[in-house]
A and B are shown apart, each in its own frame.
Chain A
């Protein structure tokens, strides 16, 4: 394996109460690459990310971060090894102000100022309690907080959730820059297929807990029909 594999999922099976929600998932994100994980609702995308960061423990298979196996159930160790995660529920500390939320991510004021430049709306809100921010403001804060740690691998669950179209466009562009300039690896869950494919290098489509389709974003853009049928879940595919 090359060191360029920032994140590798091998044969990963995981779920809740002994019932698998994802099965035999193989997935790789290289350093300097933006990969998007697509799939219909309930496909198992969130479960995949939660398994990677050790909140859901795998029933089978393994996760490698920077080539090393990751311990289950210790998300903070992973975070220190360079994994950033914006969870589906955003994981903000509602009782703390936006500024305090940022401070918990990093000591460095420079880093905070750097990421705040990506979100022109945020600086004015830093004194407010995170709990009272609007849905989109919370999403921006969560992403900013994860970026401020300069993760080597960043996972974002539903990037565009609650964000205005303008913000999504500029955010995708900034993520693209971070990938190209700093060589970080990004794994993105996104429901807007066009947007996601427009920014990504490669894509996986998950359905019924299995990888139904994978390929370069470029090639998939021209294969909308293929994606749609993978969303519906080809009968053969699932039963086999």
Chain B
């Protein structure tokens, strides 16, 4: 199978800080790929660069076509989706509306038609699905600010997957989840992948990463220090030294 997301020589610099230095990475459809590494290694910067939120060098290709010149929202419309490490939910929209916003595609004329005919023939099937799959039915009508951190985390994952993307970039979706939730999240991500979505997963929960990822990339100081099948990376001495701890 050919990769749906191809990253070539991705570079991100902030002023004098080189956060990502020449990252090569691919993700295939139906695959969950882990991106791990110490704090400040450049993982979030890589996601920001792929999704267009920060200027970067190198090439990003989605399903064969280049995203380099596209703005963030155009990349999203092209079939990319992402979550934020800092969640960044819409605080004054209900959980359901948070998802609805992400599931609809506006055209330039939408606003004009909406003045006359709002709610024309939309169904919320994807929204309902995402809510159900992530177990958010009960909180669908509440505001994110009234939810506990763990639940907010799930909302941000739901918002990322609701648009039926080809590739999802998830930035620490497991942070702050309890062990049951983490396990459940793993199973759900696996299901999304089995349906054909490609997932790039960043997380510091090694239990989660090691159990669901097909392959893992390890970043340190912006550079790859290891990559390959999960089992192999887990025992790589450089990874143990830089990230996991020798006795892990």
Report which A residues bind B (CB closer than 8 A).
Answer: 16, 39-43, 46, 88, 121, 125, 132-137, 139-140, 158, 160-167, 169, 191, 193, 228, 231-232
Contacts and interface: CB of A to CB of B under 8 A. Distances in A.
A38 B56 CA distance: 41
Contacts of A167: 38-39
Contacts of B172: 135, 162
B146 interface: yes
B44 A88 contact: no
A98 to B, nearest CB: 12
A139 B204 CA distance: 13
Given A135-B86, A165-B248, A191 B177 contact: yes
Contact of A41 (B39, B146, B148, B206): B148
A42 B176 contact: no
Interface string B212-248: 0000000000000000000000000000001111001
Given A16-B146, A42-B151, A136-B39, A191 B179 contact: yes
User: Which of under 10, 10 to 19, 20 to 34, or 35 or more describes the interface residues of B?
Assistant: 20 to 34
Interface of B: 14, 37-40, 43-45, 85-86, 146-151, 172, 175-182, 204, 206, 242-245, 248
B85 A158 contact: no
Nearest to A136: B39
Given A40-B180, A46-B148, A165 B204 contact: yes
The 10 closest A-B pairs by CB, nearest first: A41-B150, A136-B39, A42-B148, A40-B178, A135-B85, A166-B245, A134-B40, A164-B38, A164-B39, A137-B40
A136 B148 contact: no
A63 B163 CA distance: 46
